[in-house]
Amino acid sequence: MLTRPIYRGWTAKSLRRQLSSQAGSGLKINSDRLLETLHHTCQWGAAHRYGDAPTETGMNRLCLTDDDARVRRWLLDEAEKLGCSPRGGRYDGILGVIAALEVLRTMKDQGYQTQFDVGLVNWTNEEGARFPKSMCSSGVWAGEIPLEKAWNLSDIFNPSVTLRSELKRHGFLGDTPCSPAGYPLGAHFELHIEQGPILEDANKKIGLVTGAQGYRWLSINVTGRDAHTGTTPLRARRDPLLAASKMIAASNAIAKQHGALASTGVLKLPPTASTKTVASEVTFTLDIRHPRDSVVHAVQDECLSVFAEIAREDGKGVTFDWTLDTDSPAVQFDANCLAAVKDAATQLVDADGWLEITSGAGHDTVYTSRHCPTAMIFVPCKEGVSHHPEEYCKPEDCALGTQTLLEAVVNYDRMRSKLK
Protein backbone atom coordinates (compact mmCIF):
# COMPACT_ATOMS: atom_id res chain seq x y z
CA MET A 1 0.00 0.00 0.00
CA LEU A 2 1.10 3.54 -0.67
CA THR A 3 2.17 5.18 2.54
CA ARG A 4 0.09 8.08 3.60
CA PRO A 5 2.75 10.85 3.71
CA ILE A 6 3.46 10.31 0.04
CA TYR A 7 -0.15 11.16 -0.77
CA ARG A 8 -0.25 14.56 0.93
CA GLY A 9 -1.50 17.00 -1.67
CA TRP A 10 -4.13 14.63 -2.98
CA THR A 11 -7.77 15.29 -2.28
CA ALA A 12 -9.37 13.22 0.45
CA LYS A 13 -11.85 11.97 -2.10
CA SER A 14 -9.33 10.50 -4.50
CA LEU A 15 -7.37 9.09 -1.61
CA ARG A 16 -10.49 7.31 -0.31
CA ARG A 17 -11.24 6.01 -3.75
CA GLN A 18 -7.68 4.85 -4.06
CA LEU A 19 -7.73 2.94 -0.82
CA SER A 20 -11.20 1.45 -1.20
CA SER A 21 -10.87 0.39 -4.80
CA GLN A 22 -11.79 -3.24 -5.43
CA ALA A 23 -10.81 -3.31 -9.10
CA GLY A 24 -7.32 -3.22 -10.49
CA SER A 25 -4.35 -5.53 -10.24
CA GLY A 26 -4.35 -5.61 -6.45
CA LEU A 27 -0.65 -4.82 -6.72
CA LYS A 28 0.78 -1.69 -5.12
CA ILE A 29 4.10 -0.25 -6.10
CA ASN A 30 6.50 0.78 -3.34
CA SER A 31 6.79 4.50 -3.77
CA ASP A 32 9.57 4.89 -1.22
CA ARG A 33 11.64 2.33 -3.07
CA LEU A 34 10.78 4.00 -6.37
CA LEU A 35 12.04 7.42 -5.26
CA GLU A 36 15.01 6.04 -3.38
CA THR A 37 16.01 4.13 -6.50
CA LEU A 38 15.50 7.09 -8.79
CA HIS A 39 17.76 9.30 -6.67
CA HIS A 40 20.21 6.42 -6.07
CA THR A 41 20.85 6.20 -9.80
CA CYS A 42 21.35 9.95 -9.95
CA GLN A 43 24.63 9.57 -8.02
CA TRP A 44 26.05 8.83 -11.48
CA GLY A 45 26.06 12.19 -13.25
CA ALA A 46 24.64 14.51 -10.54
CA ALA A 47 25.50 18.12 -11.48
CA HIS A 48 24.24 21.70 -11.30
CA ARG A 49 23.30 21.90 -7.61
CA TYR A 50 20.41 24.33 -7.05
CA GLY A 51 19.56 23.68 -3.39
CA ASP A 52 20.95 22.16 -0.19
CA ALA A 53 19.03 18.88 -0.14
CA PRO A 54 20.95 15.83 -1.41
CA THR A 55 18.58 15.47 -4.35
CA GLU A 56 18.59 19.14 -5.30
CA THR A 57 20.89 18.80 -8.26
CA GLY A 58 20.23 18.38 -11.93
CA MET A 59 21.92 15.77 -14.09
CA ASN A 60 24.72 15.75 -16.62
CA ARG A 61 25.00 12.18 -17.85
CA LEU A 62 25.53 12.14 -21.56
CA CYS A 63 24.80 8.97 -23.43
CA LEU A 64 27.49 6.24 -23.16
CA THR A 65 29.83 8.27 -20.99
CA ASP A 66 31.41 6.34 -18.11
CA ASP A 67 28.67 7.47 -15.71
CA ASP A 68 26.02 6.40 -18.19
CA ALA A 69 27.68 3.02 -18.62
CA ARG A 70 27.76 2.61 -14.80
CA VAL A 71 24.03 3.24 -14.43
CA ARG A 72 23.24 0.98 -17.35
CA ARG A 73 25.26 -1.84 -15.78
CA TRP A 74 23.50 -1.20 -12.46
CA LEU A 75 20.15 -1.48 -14.27
CA LEU A 76 21.13 -4.79 -15.83
CA ASP A 77 22.15 -6.11 -12.40
CA GLU A 78 18.87 -5.02 -10.83
CA ALA A 79 16.81 -6.56 -13.62
CA GLU A 80 18.77 -9.81 -13.35
CA LYS A 81 17.99 -9.90 -9.61
CA LEU A 82 14.34 -9.98 -10.63
CA GLY A 83 14.93 -13.03 -12.75
CA CYS A 84 14.72 -11.07 -15.98
CA SER A 85 16.81 -12.04 -18.97
CA PRO A 86 17.56 -8.46 -19.77
CA ARG A 87 17.63 -7.63 -23.42
CA GLY A 88 17.60 -4.36 -22.95
CA GLY A 89 17.38 11.76 -16.93
CA ARG A 90 16.43 12.66 -12.62
CA TYR A 91 12.87 12.70 -14.09
CA ASP A 92 12.90 13.24 -17.85
CA GLY A 93 13.61 9.75 -19.16
CA ILE A 94 15.05 8.52 -15.86
CA LEU A 95 11.63 8.34 -14.20
CA GLY A 96 10.30 6.20 -17.05
CA VAL A 97 13.09 3.63 -16.76
CA ILE A 98 13.05 3.51 -12.95
CA ALA A 99 9.23 3.26 -12.95
CA ALA A 100 9.42 0.27 -15.28
CA LEU A 101 11.93 -1.32 -12.91
CA GLU A 102 9.56 -0.63 -10.00
CA VAL A 103 6.75 -2.30 -11.95
CA LEU A 104 8.90 -5.42 -12.42
CA ARG A 105 10.02 -5.38 -8.77
CA THR A 106 6.43 -5.10 -7.57
CA MET A 107 5.30 -8.01 -9.72
CA LYS A 108 8.25 -10.09 -8.53
CA ASP A 109 7.78 -9.20 -4.83
CA GLN A 110 4.13 -10.03 -4.90
CA GLY A 111 4.45 -13.10 -7.05
CA TYR A 112 2.23 -11.73 -9.78
CA GLN A 113 2.22 -13.73 -13.02
CA THR A 114 1.33 -11.91 -16.25
CA GLN A 115 -0.05 -13.85 -19.21
CA PHE A 116 2.58 -12.42 -21.53
CA ASP A 117 6.21 -11.49 -20.95
CA VAL A 118 6.80 -8.03 -19.50
CA GLY A 119 10.13 -6.32 -20.07
CA LEU A 120 11.95 -3.06 -19.67
CA VAL A 121 13.64 -1.18 -22.52
CA ASN A 122 16.30 1.39 -21.68
CA TRP A 123 16.51 3.08 -25.10
CA THR A 124 20.00 4.41 -25.78
CA ASN A 125 20.60 8.07 -26.80
CA GLU A 126 16.96 9.15 -26.63
CA GLU A 127 17.83 12.79 -26.02
CA GLY A 128 20.45 13.06 -28.75
CA ALA A 129 22.39 15.45 -26.53
CA ARG A 130 25.75 13.72 -26.99
CA PHE A 131 25.15 11.97 -30.34
CA PRO A 132 22.87 14.44 -32.14
CA LYS A 133 19.89 12.37 -33.19
CA SER A 134 16.82 12.31 -30.96
CA MET A 135 15.04 9.01 -30.22
CA CYS A 136 17.99 7.35 -31.87
CA SER A 137 17.60 3.71 -30.86
CA SER A 138 13.81 3.51 -31.12
CA GLY A 139 14.27 5.11 -34.55
CA VAL A 140 16.68 2.32 -35.50
CA TRP A 141 14.32 -0.28 -34.08
CA ALA A 142 11.44 1.16 -36.10
CA GLY A 143 13.52 1.20 -39.29
CA GLU A 144 13.31 5.00 -39.53
CA ILE A 145 17.01 5.58 -38.82
CA PRO A 146 19.52 3.32 -40.63
CA LEU A 147 21.72 1.42 -38.15
CA GLU A 148 24.93 2.58 -39.84
CA LYS A 149 23.83 6.21 -39.63
CA ALA A 150 23.15 5.84 -35.91
CA TRP A 151 26.44 4.02 -35.31
CA ASN A 152 28.36 6.74 -37.14
CA LEU A 153 26.91 9.61 -35.11
CA SER A 154 29.81 11.59 -33.62
CA ASP A 155 30.13 12.90 -30.11
CA ILE A 156 29.38 16.62 -30.47
CA PHE A 157 32.48 17.49 -28.44
CA ASN A 158 34.86 14.91 -29.91
CA PRO A 159 34.23 13.92 -33.52
CA SER A 160 36.62 10.95 -33.26
CA VAL A 161 34.23 9.21 -30.87
CA THR A 162 31.11 7.60 -32.32
CA LEU A 163 28.03 5.95 -30.88
CA ARG A 164 29.40 2.64 -32.12
CA SER A 165 32.87 3.13 -30.63
CA GLU A 166 31.35 3.94 -27.25
CA LEU A 167 28.93 0.98 -27.39
CA LYS A 168 31.94 -1.20 -28.14
CA ARG A 169 34.13 0.36 -25.41
CA HIS A 170 31.44 -0.30 -22.79
CA GLY A 171 30.73 -3.82 -24.05
CA PHE A 172 27.19 -2.86 -25.10
CA LEU A 173 27.53 -3.81 -28.76
CA GLY A 174 25.19 -6.81 -28.59
CA ASP A 175 24.18 -9.17 -31.35
CA THR A 176 20.40 -8.93 -31.03
CA PRO A 177 19.11 -7.16 -34.17
CA CYS A 178 17.53 -3.81 -33.23
CA SER A 179 14.30 -4.27 -35.20
CA PRO A 180 10.70 -5.46 -34.71
CA ALA A 181 11.78 -8.83 -36.16
CA GLY A 182 14.87 -9.19 -33.97
CA TYR A 183 13.31 -7.81 -30.83
CA PRO A 184 9.50 -7.89 -31.12
CA LEU A 185 7.33 -5.82 -28.79
CA GLY A 186 3.73 -6.86 -28.09
CA ALA A 187 2.96 -3.38 -26.82
CA HIS A 188 4.95 -0.39 -25.55
CA PHE A 189 3.96 1.76 -22.58
CA GLU A 190 6.00 4.78 -21.47
CA LEU A 191 5.74 6.97 -18.40
CA HIS A 192 7.15 10.48 -18.77
CA ILE A 193 6.99 13.87 -17.13
CA GLU A 194 4.80 16.19 -19.18
CA GLN A 195 7.56 18.77 -19.84
CA GLY A 196 4.79 21.34 -20.07
CA PRO A 197 2.47 23.16 -17.64
CA ILE A 198 -0.89 21.83 -18.81
CA LEU A 199 -1.53 19.17 -16.11
CA GLU A 200 -0.22 21.40 -13.34
CA ASP A 201 -2.30 24.38 -14.48
CA ALA A 202 -5.42 22.19 -14.75
CA ASN A 203 -4.68 20.54 -11.39
CA LYS A 204 -4.68 17.05 -12.94
CA LYS A 205 -2.51 14.18 -11.74
CA ILE A 206 -2.35 11.94 -14.81
CA GLY A 207 -2.09 12.76 -18.51
CA LEU A 208 -3.57 10.17 -20.82
CA VAL A 209 -1.46 10.78 -23.90
CA THR A 210 -3.61 10.10 -26.94
CA GLY A 211 -0.86 10.77 -29.45
CA ALA A 212 1.94 13.10 -30.42
CA GLN A 213 1.44 16.33 -32.26
CA GLY A 214 2.81 16.71 -35.74
CA TYR A 215 5.70 19.07 -36.28
CA ARG A 216 7.70 20.49 -39.12
CA TRP A 217 11.04 22.22 -38.70
CA LEU A 218 11.98 24.78 -41.31
CA SER A 219 15.15 26.79 -41.78
CA ILE A 220 14.53 30.20 -43.30
CA ASN A 221 17.41 31.97 -44.97
CA VAL A 222 16.90 35.69 -45.56
CA THR A 223 19.36 37.47 -47.83
CA GLY A 224 19.86 41.20 -48.02
CA ARG A 225 22.94 43.34 -48.42
CA ASP A 226 25.41 44.45 -45.82
CA ALA A 227 25.35 48.22 -45.42
CA HIS A 228 26.64 50.86 -43.05
CA THR A 229 23.99 51.68 -40.44
CA GLY A 230 24.97 55.32 -40.34
CA THR A 231 25.14 56.09 -44.03
CA THR A 232 22.41 53.97 -45.56
CA PRO A 233 18.90 55.49 -45.52
CA LEU A 234 16.13 53.07 -44.52
CA ARG A 235 14.68 53.29 -48.04
CA ALA A 236 17.96 52.07 -49.54
CA ARG A 237 18.43 49.05 -47.29
CA ARG A 238 17.97 45.35 -47.79
CA ASP A 239 17.90 44.46 -44.12
CA PRO A 240 17.50 40.71 -43.49
CA LEU A 241 17.44 40.99 -39.69
CA LEU A 242 14.59 43.48 -39.79
CA ALA A 243 12.70 41.18 -42.18
CA ALA A 244 13.47 38.09 -40.05
CA SER A 245 12.24 39.91 -36.95
CA LYS A 246 8.94 40.69 -38.64
CA MET A 247 8.69 37.10 -39.87
CA ILE A 248 9.19 35.71 -36.36
CA ALA A 249 6.54 38.05 -34.95
CA ALA A 250 4.17 37.16 -37.82
CA SER A 251 4.64 33.39 -37.39
CA ASN A 252 3.69 33.74 -33.73
CA ALA A 253 0.51 35.67 -34.64
CA ILE A 254 -0.44 33.11 -37.30
CA ALA A 255 0.09 30.18 -34.90
CA LYS A 256 -2.10 31.92 -32.31
CA GLN A 257 -4.94 32.24 -34.82
CA HIS A 258 -4.76 28.50 -35.49
CA GLY A 259 -4.29 27.41 -31.87
CA ALA A 260 -0.96 25.98 -32.99
CA LEU A 261 2.63 26.49 -31.87
CA ALA A 262 5.27 28.36 -33.88
CA SER A 263 8.67 28.94 -32.34
CA THR A 264 12.04 30.25 -33.34
CA GLY A 265 14.85 28.83 -31.23
CA VAL A 266 17.87 29.61 -33.40
CA LEU A 267 18.76 32.79 -35.28
CA LYS A 268 22.18 33.17 -36.86
CA LEU A 269 23.99 36.18 -38.25
CA PRO A 270 27.30 36.12 -40.15
CA PRO A 271 30.35 36.13 -37.84
CA THR A 272 31.18 39.61 -39.11
CA ALA A 273 28.01 41.08 -37.56
CA SER A 274 28.66 44.45 -35.94
CA THR A 275 26.62 47.19 -34.33
CA LYS A 276 27.22 49.53 -37.28
CA THR A 277 26.53 47.08 -40.10
CA VAL A 278 23.23 45.90 -41.53
CA ALA A 279 23.85 42.17 -41.88
CA SER A 280 23.93 40.56 -45.31
CA GLU A 281 22.11 37.41 -44.28
CA VAL A 282 20.09 35.87 -41.46
CA THR A 283 19.06 32.26 -40.92
CA PHE A 284 16.42 31.26 -38.40
CA THR A 285 14.53 28.11 -37.50
CA LEU A 286 10.77 27.78 -37.43
CA ASP A 287 9.20 24.94 -35.47
CA ILE A 288 5.46 24.52 -36.19
CA ARG A 289 3.36 22.04 -34.16
CA HIS A 290 -0.25 20.95 -33.85
CA PRO A 291 -2.03 17.66 -33.12
CA ARG A 292 -3.52 17.77 -36.64
CA ASP A 293 -1.18 17.66 -39.64
CA SER A 294 -3.61 19.76 -41.68
CA VAL A 295 -3.20 22.64 -39.22
CA VAL A 296 0.62 22.32 -39.27
CA HIS A 297 0.51 22.62 -43.05
CA ALA A 298 -1.94 25.53 -42.97
CA VAL A 299 0.29 27.45 -40.55
CA GLN A 300 3.34 26.76 -42.71
CA ASP A 301 1.58 27.90 -45.90
CA GLU A 302 0.28 31.07 -44.27
CA CYS A 303 3.70 31.87 -42.78
CA LEU A 304 5.47 31.49 -46.12
CA SER A 305 2.87 33.66 -47.84
CA VAL A 306 3.20 36.41 -45.21
CA PHE A 307 7.01 36.09 -45.29
CA ALA A 308 6.87 36.88 -49.02
CA GLU A 309 4.96 40.09 -48.25
CA ILE A 310 7.36 41.03 -45.47
CA ALA A 311 10.32 40.48 -47.82
CA ARG A 312 9.01 43.29 -50.03
CA GLU A 313 8.00 45.65 -47.22
CA ASP A 314 11.10 47.58 -46.21
CA GLY A 315 13.66 49.49 -48.22
CA LYS A 316 14.69 47.67 -51.37
CA GLY A 317 13.46 44.35 -50.06
CA VAL A 318 15.13 41.06 -49.23
CA THR A 319 14.90 37.56 -50.65
CA PHE A 320 14.41 34.37 -48.72
CA ASP A 321 14.41 30.65 -49.23
CA TRP A 322 13.62 27.80 -46.89
CA THR A 323 14.33 24.16 -46.34
CA LEU A 324 12.31 21.51 -44.52
CA ASP A 325 14.67 19.96 -41.97
CA THR A 326 12.27 17.66 -40.16
CA ASP A 327 8.77 16.45 -40.94
CA SER A 328 7.20 14.46 -38.15
CA PRO A 329 3.53 13.74 -38.85
CA ALA A 330 1.04 13.55 -35.98
CA VAL A 331 0.72 10.17 -34.28
CA GLN A 332 -2.37 8.51 -32.77
CA PHE A 333 -1.71 5.96 -30.06
CA ASP A 334 -3.50 2.59 -29.91
CA ALA A 335 -7.13 2.57 -28.72
CA ASN A 336 -6.70 -0.57 -26.59
CA CYS A 337 -3.52 0.70 -24.93
CA LEU A 338 -5.29 4.00 -24.27
CA ALA A 339 -8.24 2.13 -22.75
CA ALA A 340 -5.84 0.25 -20.48
CA VAL A 341 -4.33 3.54 -19.27
CA LYS A 342 -7.72 5.24 -18.97
CA ASP A 343 -9.12 2.45 -16.79
CA ALA A 344 -6.03 2.59 -14.59
CA ALA A 345 -6.17 6.38 -14.24
CA THR A 346 -9.89 6.51 -13.58
CA GLN A 347 -9.51 3.98 -10.85
CA LEU A 348 -6.58 5.78 -9.23
CA VAL A 349 -7.61 9.44 -9.46
CA ASP A 350 -11.28 9.58 -10.49
CA ALA A 351 -12.46 10.74 -13.88
CA ASP A 352 -11.71 14.29 -12.71
CA GLY A 353 -8.10 13.57 -11.94
CA TRP A 354 -6.81 12.81 -15.41
CA LEU A 355 -6.77 14.66 -18.68
CA GLU A 356 -6.43 13.60 -22.29
CA ILE A 357 -3.37 15.33 -23.64
CA THR A 358 -1.26 15.34 -26.79
CA SER A 359 2.46 14.97 -26.44
CA GLY A 360 4.24 18.11 -27.55
CA ALA A 361 7.67 16.52 -27.60
CA GLY A 362 8.96 13.51 -29.46
CA HIS A 363 9.34 10.27 -27.47
CA ASP A 364 10.53 6.74 -28.20
CA THR A 365 6.86 5.72 -28.15
CA VAL A 366 6.29 7.80 -31.30
CA TYR A 367 8.64 5.44 -33.16
CA THR A 368 7.47 2.22 -31.51
CA SER A 369 3.84 3.18 -32.28
CA ARG A 370 4.52 2.43 -35.94
CA HIS A 371 5.15 -1.24 -35.22
CA CYS A 372 3.22 -2.15 -32.08
CA PRO A 373 0.29 -0.93 -29.94
CA THR A 374 1.45 1.94 -27.70
CA ALA A 375 0.36 4.54 -25.20
CA MET A 376 2.00 7.02 -22.87
CA ILE A 377 1.31 8.32 -19.39
CA PHE A 378 2.27 11.84 -18.35
CA VAL A 379 2.75 13.12 -14.82
CA PRO A 380 2.87 16.84 -13.99
CA CYS A 381 6.21 18.56 -13.53
CA LYS A 382 6.83 21.83 -11.75
CA GLU A 383 6.03 24.84 -13.96
CA GLY A 384 6.49 22.67 -17.02
CA VAL A 385 10.27 22.98 -16.71
CA SER A 386 12.44 20.25 -18.23
CA HIS A 387 15.93 20.04 -19.72
CA HIS A 388 17.02 22.09 -16.74
CA PRO A 389 18.62 21.14 -13.40
CA GLU A 390 15.55 22.36 -11.52
CA GLU A 391 13.21 20.03 -13.42
CA TYR A 392 11.02 18.54 -10.69
CA CYS A 393 8.26 15.97 -10.32
CA LYS A 394 6.74 15.53 -6.86
CA PRO A 395 7.43 12.15 -5.21
CA GLU A 396 3.68 11.44 -5.01
CA ASP A 397 3.31 12.18 -8.72
CA CYS A 398 6.21 9.85 -9.56
CA ALA A 399 4.53 7.16 -7.47
CA LEU A 400 1.10 7.70 -8.94
CA GLY A 401 2.46 7.64 -12.47
CA THR A 402 4.29 4.41 -11.74
CA GLN A 403 1.17 2.85 -10.22
CA THR A 404 -0.76 3.91 -13.33
CA LEU A 405 1.89 2.32 -15.50
CA LEU A 406 1.65 -0.91 -13.52
CA GLU A 407 -2.15 -0.99 -13.73
CA ALA A 408 -2.11 -0.18 -17.44
CA VAL A 409 0.34 -3.00 -18.17
CA VAL A 410 -1.75 -5.43 -16.12
CA ASN A 411 -4.96 -4.22 -17.82
CA TYR A 412 -3.44 -4.65 -21.25
CA ASP A 413 -1.96 -8.04 -20.36
CA ARG A 414 -5.46 -9.20 -19.34
CA MET A 415 -7.19 -7.89 -22.48
CA ARG A 416 -4.48 -8.94 -24.91
CA SER A 417 -5.53 -12.52 -25.38
CA LYS A 418 -9.04 -11.32 -26.37
CA LEU A 419 -7.67 -8.94 -29.04
CA LYS A 420 -7.31 -10.20 -32.57
Of residues 305 and 326, the one with the C-beta less far from a copy of itself: 326
Query: What phi and psi, each to the nearest 5 degrees, are found at residue 115?
Result: -75, -35
- State the amino acid at position 373 in one-letter form: P
Is 198 a binding residue for a copy of itself by CB under 8 A? The answer is: yes
- State the amino acid at position 38 in one-letter form: L
Q: Which residues of 293-412 form beta strands (DSSP E)?
A: 319-328, 331-332, 354-359, 374-379
Of residues 73 and 246, the one with the C-beta less far from a copy of itself: 246
Question: Which stretch in 33-41, 156-164, 191-199, 367-375 sits in contact with a copy of itself by CB under 8 A?
Answer: 191-199
Of residues 71 and 242, the one with the C-beta less far from a copy of itself: 242
Q: What part of residues 119-158 is at the interface with a copy of itself (CB under 8 A)?
A: none
Minimum CB separation of residue 120 from a copy of itself in Å reads 25
Q: How far apart are CA 219 and CA 248, in angstroms?
A: 12
Of residues 111 and 230, the one with the C-beta less far from a copy of itself: 230
Residue 8, judged by CB atoms within 10 A of its CB (0-12, 13-18, 19+), counts as exposed
Is 401 a binding residue for a copy of itself by CB under 8 A? The answer is: no
- 321 has which bridge partners? 221
Query: What phi and psi, each to the nearest 5 degrees, are found at residue 219?
Result: -110, 130
Of residues 167 and 288, the one with the C-beta less far from a copy of itself: 288
Minimum CB separation of residue 241 from a copy of itself in Å reads 6
DSSP string, 382-414: GGG--SSTT----HHHHHHHHHHHHHHHHHHHH
Is 292 a binding residue for a copy of itself by CB under 8 A? The answer is: no
Is 62 a binding residue for a copy of itself by CB under 8 A? The answer is: no
Which residues contact residue 310 at a Cβ distance below 8 angstroms, ignoring those fewer than 6 apart?
243, 246, 247, 250
- Alpha-carbon separation of residue 74 from 42, 227, 336 (angstroms): 12, 59, 33
Is 2 a binding residue for a copy of itself by CB under 8 A? The answer is: no
Question: Which stretch in 16-24, 59-67, 76-84, 246-254 sits in contact with a copy of itself by CB under 8 A?
Answer: 246-254
Q: How far apart are CA 184 and CA 9, in angstroms?
A: 40
Is 380 a binding residue for a copy of itself by CB under 8 A? The answer is: no
Is 271 a binding residue for a copy of itself by CB under 8 A? The answer is: no
Which residues contact residue 261 at a Cβ distance below 8 angstroms, ignoring those fewer than 6 apart?
213, 255, 287, 288, 289, 290, 360
Is 418 a binding residue for a copy of itself by CB under 8 A? The answer is: no
Q: What part of residues 344-373 is at the interface with a copy of itself (CB under 8 A)?
A: 359-362
In the complex, which residues of this chain contact a copy of itself (CB under 8 A)? 194-198, 201, 213, 215, 217, 225-234, 236, 239, 241-242, 244-246, 248-249, 252, 255-256, 261, 263-267, 269, 273-279, 285, 287, 289, 314, 325-326, 359-362, 384-388
